Amino acid sequence: MEDLLGVNIHPSASMDGWRDRFLDAISKGFVPPIFLYQGPRSASLWERLHVQYASASQDRTAEALYRRLFEWLETVLGSGSVELVSLGCGLAEKEGQWFEVSGKRRIEVQLLDGSFELVAEAKRRRVHPGFHGEVGATVADLTSPSLWRDLARYRAGCPVIYTLFGMLPTLAPEFLIPRIGPLLREGDWLLLDANLIPDSPEYDGTVPPRIVSQYDNPETREWLLASLAELGIYSNAGSLAFHAQGSLHRSEVPRIVASFAFNQTVTVGLFGKSIGFSKERSLRVFRSNRYSVPLLTMMLEQQGIRVVHVLTSETGEDGLLVCRSSPTASLPGGG
Ligand SMILES: C[S@@+](CC[C@H](N)C(=O)[O-])C[C@H]1O[C@@H](n2cnc3c(N)ncnc32)[C@H](O)[C@@H]1O
């Protein structure tokens, strides 16, 4: 069924491709992020912790940041229709703030996410009486190169505003960042958010323990352990620990990682394969990348993406970057 409850399924979400990418990730020692949001239980556990702990709900200045961004966008967009393509939309709440200030502007919305539950719910919530436009929803896997090729071929009859909210923390920067530039044509916009770490000479470039502890809470543990249980790995088979990795001064971006260390050998059946996790092995279950604004700007500009506007919250922990196209950007692998 191609169009279930008004939700399209992109070929990147087909079982064959998904199985191969999933098994590849597990063999490399990590649970693919998309898996943490799929299925009613995982999606609702994520929503609960998102409401409770997402920086916007912790920090009023971070919440106001999105409103400021969309108010600014309205001053530079000019009149006329636009298209919004939300990549990894989740519940599309941040984009929802735009619709509160967009007046009578017609906005065609394309919501895209790897979680059927989240994208279907985002579509349901975004269609409300004050909204002028149409909302489309698609389940797709942003780790599939074929999806990025299809996105880069996409032509809209009006400027496109791409949003990638919550995705720089989630997906591997070396995969994601080179794929963004080729989407942008003249007149298009890209809105990104990032979890920041301080950028000052006295700062040592690692993630402070205070920030790591924001992730180590009962709700996040329950969410991650529920996903492991879906795989047949139960909490008594080991322990989940949060720690910081990498540094601004080394080649890997700093990140917060949650890993499950096995205390016994566990064998699970996945997609018809038997996969063993030996005692003392660990599986990375979660990762959240952090950037400084100068580091992220450099990484984007290396891929031909121009950063034209930056907003940061008062705490300095949340940043929003507005980007435009550069004529030189092309897809990795010539796609
Ligand atoms: C941290 S949440 C961000 C959600 C929302 N954009 C926000 O900022 O509140 C990450 C989102 O990315 C989606 N996601 C993770 N991996 C994905 C993938 N490979 N392809 C598509 N979506 C993915 C998840 O389903 C989830 O909705």
**pLDDT tens, position by position, 35-77:** 999 999 999 999 999 888 775 556 667 778 999 999 999 999 9
Share of the chain above pLDDT 70, in %: 92
**CA–CA gap between residue 30 and residue 312 (Å, rounded):** 31
CA distance 92 to 74: 18
Residue nearest to atom 15 of ligand 1 (CA): 34
How large is the average pLDDT for residues 161-174? 96
pLDDT higher than 50, residue 334: no
pTM of the entire predicted model: 0.93
Distance between CA atoms of 123 and 100, rounded to whole angstroms? 16
**Residue whose entry in the numeric block shows the structure tokens 């963004």:** 180
The answer to whether residue 3 scores a pLDDT higher than 60 is no
Rounded Cα distance between 21 and 41, Å, is 22
Task: Say yes or no: CB of residue 113 within 6 Å of ligand 1.
Answer: yes
| Least reliable range by pLDDT among 192-196, 281-285, 312-316 | 312-316
Model pLDDT for residues 224-279, shown as the tens digit of each residue: 999 999 999 999 999 999 999 988 777 788 999 999 999 999 999 998 899 999 99
Classified by CATH at the fold level, domain 3-199+291-326 comes out as Rossmann fold (3.40.50)
Determine the residue of 170, 171, 193, 320 to mutate for testing ligand 1's pocket, defined as the one with the most ligand atoms within 8 A of the Cβ atom: 170
Q: Which of 48, 69, 87, 89 has the most ligand 1 atoms within 8 A of CB, as the residue to mutate?
A: 89
CA angle (5, 9, 13) in 5-degree steps: 135
Q: By C-alpha distance, which of 327, 273, 258, 309 is closest to 75? A: 309
Give me the phi and psi of 268, to 5 degrees please.
-125, 155
**195-to-86, 253, 258, 290 alpha-carbon distances in Å:** 18, 12, 17, 5
What's the average model confidence in pLDDT over 15-24? 90
How much is the pLDDT for 55? 56
88 CA to centre of ligand 1 in angstroms: 4
